[in-house]
Chain A
Amino acid sequence: MKSNTYGAYTLFKKEVNRFKKVWVQTLVSPLVSNLLFLAVFGLSLNRSMPELDGGVTYLQFLVPGLVIMGMMNNAYQNSSSSIVIAKYNQTISDLLTIPLRPIEVQYAYTLAATVRGLMVGIVTYISTLPFVQVPIKNLPLILLSSILINVAFGLLGLAVGIWGKEFDRMAAIQNFILTPLIYLGGVFYSLSVLPESFQKISALNPFAYMIDLLRAGFIGTSTFPISTSLIFVGITTLVLHLLTGWMLRTGYRIQS
């Protein structure tokens, strides 16, 4: 079986093209909601919140959380909504008839989701610069972890898109599972300020490690050891990779 790299690149390009065409919805609206969070939580709470280790203010703590949240939501939404829209438009059958191997389809979607997630992350970071200077303590860690997180959420979106028959399902997963886990995973607060019992529960939240890891790259301190988080994030990404790979290979919910 020969690989079709240019074909996979074309699918990637089409996916990027898709979110670029509706850039107000896909790039500007996450930016606006993140700036709102910054205003609501940051500007109101900043003064009353104590500084964290290493003289990190609450705003400096919050901004990396918003960056991660933007990446997670957008990477997830990019692949999940693309698949569900394709099901709705009945263009999903194209995925089966074009000469791409399942793994090429998987990479094209995941990469496009990663590009959108990274764009939202970068735009969010830059847009907060006038209000707060967030340090960049460890750039390689930021790059590595943000790529892993975007890939993981791109894959997750792909899995949910393939599984879900309607927009309902996709939104239900986002509203009832992803958003609570993201909010409770330490986007807005440090897990270390929680009562011990809640800290233990939070340690079971896979997203808490992702959020902690990327934030460590910015502010230099973390709740969990960096190596633990890296292993955890790596394994999550791998599991999602295997799951979506299996779904595409077996034609799960797409092939009758």
Chain B
Amino acid sequence: MSDIAVNIKNLTKRYKDGPLALDDVDLEIKKGEFFALLGPNGAGKSTMINIMSGLVKKTHGDVEIFGTNQEDDPTKIKFDIGVVPQEISFDPFLTVQQTLEFQSGYYGIRDNKEYIEEVLVNLNLIDKKDAGTRQLSGGMKRRLLIAKALIHKPKLLILDEPTAGVDVELRHTLWTYVRKLNEAGLTILLTTHYLEEAEALCKRLAIVDKGKIKAVGKTKSLIEEYSGKKTISLNLKEKLKEVPSELNKYETQILENGSILEITLDPSNTEHVFKAVGATSLDVTNFSVAEQSLEDVFLKLTYEQHEK
């Protein structure tokens, strides 16, 4: 058996009369991973998981989940995955217990009482099992969505923006719970636009923007790779119109109408940058150094391009 949970190749989606939501995306997630798709709203994260769950038809490409190609057997994939959607929606006629009993039935499970109880206890919903879904608070509905996705014991749990609009306390409760599920062996794919969430939960992540994967790798090494980069801001006595030719080969930016020059440093060029600055006729009155966080990297990879 291969150790690949999700294998996506050349996945493209163009909505009717719409823009390209996914543009030739490749992605591989291993069994047992806790993986994040990180990106701003409208980046294509939901499109990607909605194709996996069957809500959206792909334009072309291949989706393989636990070795089954979606085109060969979409139903098998539906048995293997559990999806926690972004939008909260329940059948208003049913109670919590009934919602989960019907959900079990759809997966061919006749008697799932014990497991339903176990999941409800774990998600702290057991007191509400006979309550109608309309009587639940927002946070309880969110937890019921997770219960619903877990009730057939899927091998891959997909969480679409699980903590959007959720208070801090519930966010941490949910994090603890899904972390436990992952430690017990469940493969989890999470989409989020909160960097903090991806950092807290996932060992690997992909940064998605405008239908493309901009970067993929270990969360830690992505942070290390980019946090090695620093920026130095030089406050200048005289306003600068253009970057001196000595500094042309470095990544520079003129700010504040020319009174600040910002240069990006990485460990390999720091020394050269200082020498190059010394060789210019710039009159530096002050300077400051800032480290780039993954947040900056994320913003750089995504939002800035939207402005262009």
Closest 7 CB pairs of A and B: A10-B105, A99-B78, A90-B89, A98-B106, A6-B108, A96-B54, A7-B106
Asked whether, in the complex, the Cβ of A99 is within 8 Å of the Cβ of B106, the reply is yes
Interface of A is mostly: helix
Asked whether, in the complex, the Cβ of A11 is within 8 Å of the Cβ of B106, the reply is yes
| Most chain A CB atoms below 10 A, which of B57, B85, B89, B90 | B89
Asked whether, in the complex, the Cβ of A96 is within 8 Å of the Cβ of B53, the reply is yes
Chain B residues with Cβ below 8 Å from A21 are 93
Contact among A7, A96, A97, A101 with B105 in the assembled complex (CB-CB below 8 Å): A7
Asked whether any CB of chain A lies closer than 8 Å to the CB of B55, the reply is: yes
User: Least Cβ distance of A226 to chain B in Å?
Assistant: 41
Asked whether, in the complex, the Cβ of A91 is within 8 Å of the Cβ of B55, the reply is no
Asked whether, in the complex, the Cβ of B55 is within 8 Å of the Cβ of A100, the reply is no
Asked whether, in the complex, the Cβ of B89 is within 8 Å of the Cβ of A256, the reply is no
CA distance A13 to B57 in the complex (A): 29
Size of the A side of the interface (Cβ < 8 Å), in residues, is 27
Asked whether any CB of chain B lies closer than 8 Å to the CB of A201, the reply is: no
Asked whether, in the complex, the Cβ of B107 is within 8 Å of the Cβ of A98, the reply is yes
Interface residues of A in 1-17 (CB under 8 A from B): 1-2, 4-7, 9-11, 13-14, 17
Asked whether any CB of chain B lies closer than 8 Å to the CB of A48, the reply is: no
Asked whether, in the complex, the Cβ of A255 is within 8 Å of the Cβ of B56, the reply is yes
User: Least Cβ distance of B41 to chain A in Å?
Assistant: 17
Chain B residues with Cβ below 8 Å from A47 are none
Chain A residues within 8 Å of B, Cβ to Cβ: 1-2, 4-7, 9-11, 13-14, 17-18, 21, 89-91, 93, 96-101, 251, 255-256
Asked whether any CB of chain A lies closer than 8 Å to the CB of B92, the reply is: yes
Contact among B53, B73, B75, B90 with A4 in the assembled complex (CB-CB below 8 Å): B75
> Knowing that A1-B76, A4-B75 are A-B contacts, what are 7 other residue pairs whose CB atoms are under 8 Å apart, sorted by A's residue number?
A4-B106, A4-B107, A4-B108, A6-B110, A97-B53, A97-B54, A97-B55
> Contact mask B96-111 → A, CB, 8 Å, 1/0?
0000001101111110
Asked whether, in the complex, the Cβ of B55 is within 8 Å of the Cβ of A255, the reply is yes
A7-B105, A90-B87, A99-B107 as given contacts; A256 in contact with B54, CB under 8 Å: no
Chain A residues with Cβ below 8 Å from B76 are 1, 99
Chain B residues within 8 Å of A, Cβ to Cβ: 15-16, 50, 53-57, 73, 75-76, 78-79, 83, 85, 87, 89-93, 102-103, 105-110
Chain B residues with Cβ below 8 Å from A101 are 75
CA distance A17 to B16 in the complex (A): 36
Contact among B57, B89, B105, B109 with A89 in the assembled complex (CB-CB below 8 Å): B89
Q: Which residue of chain B has its CB nearest to the CB of A255?
A: B57
Asked whether, in the complex, the Cβ of B91 is within 8 Å of the Cβ of A91, the reply is yes
A7-B107, A10-B105 as given contacts; A251 in contact with B90, CB under 8 Å: no
Asked whether, in the complex, the Cβ of A99 is within 8 Å of the Cβ of B89, the reply is no
Chain B residues with Cβ below 8 Å from A93 are 55, 85, 89
Q: Which residue of chain A has its CB nearest to the CB of B92?
A: A89
Asked whether, in the complex, the Cβ of B57 is within 8 Å of the Cβ of A251, the reply is yes
CA distance A101 to B75 in the complex (A): 7
CA distance A65 to B75 in the complex (A): 43
Asked whether, in the complex, the Cβ of A100 is within 8 Å of the Cβ of B90, the reply is no
CA distance A61 to B275 in the complex (A): 105
Chain B residues with Cβ below 8 Å from A97 are 53-55, 78, 83
Q: Which residue of chain A has its CB nearest to the CB of B90?
A: A91
Chain A residues with Cβ below 8 Å from B109 are 6
Asked whether, in the complex, the Cβ of B55 is within 8 Å of the Cβ of A96, the reply is yes
Q: Which residue of chain A has its CB nearest to the CB of B105?
A: A10
User: Least Cβ distance of B106 to chain A in Å?
Assistant: 4
Chain B residues with Cβ below 8 Å from A5 are 108
Q: Which residue of chain A has its CB nearest to the CB of B89?
A: A90
Chain A residues with Cβ below 8 Å from B15 are 256
Chain B residues with Cβ below 8 Å from A17 are 93
Chain A residues with Cβ below 8 Å from B78 are 97-99
Chain B residues with Cβ below 8 Å from A91 are 89-91
Chain A residues with Cβ below 8 Å from B90 are 89, 91
Chain A residues with Cβ below 8 Å from B103 are 98
Chain A residues with Cβ below 8 Å from B73 are 1
Asked whether, in the complex, the Cβ of B102 is within 8 Å of the Cβ of A10, the reply is yes
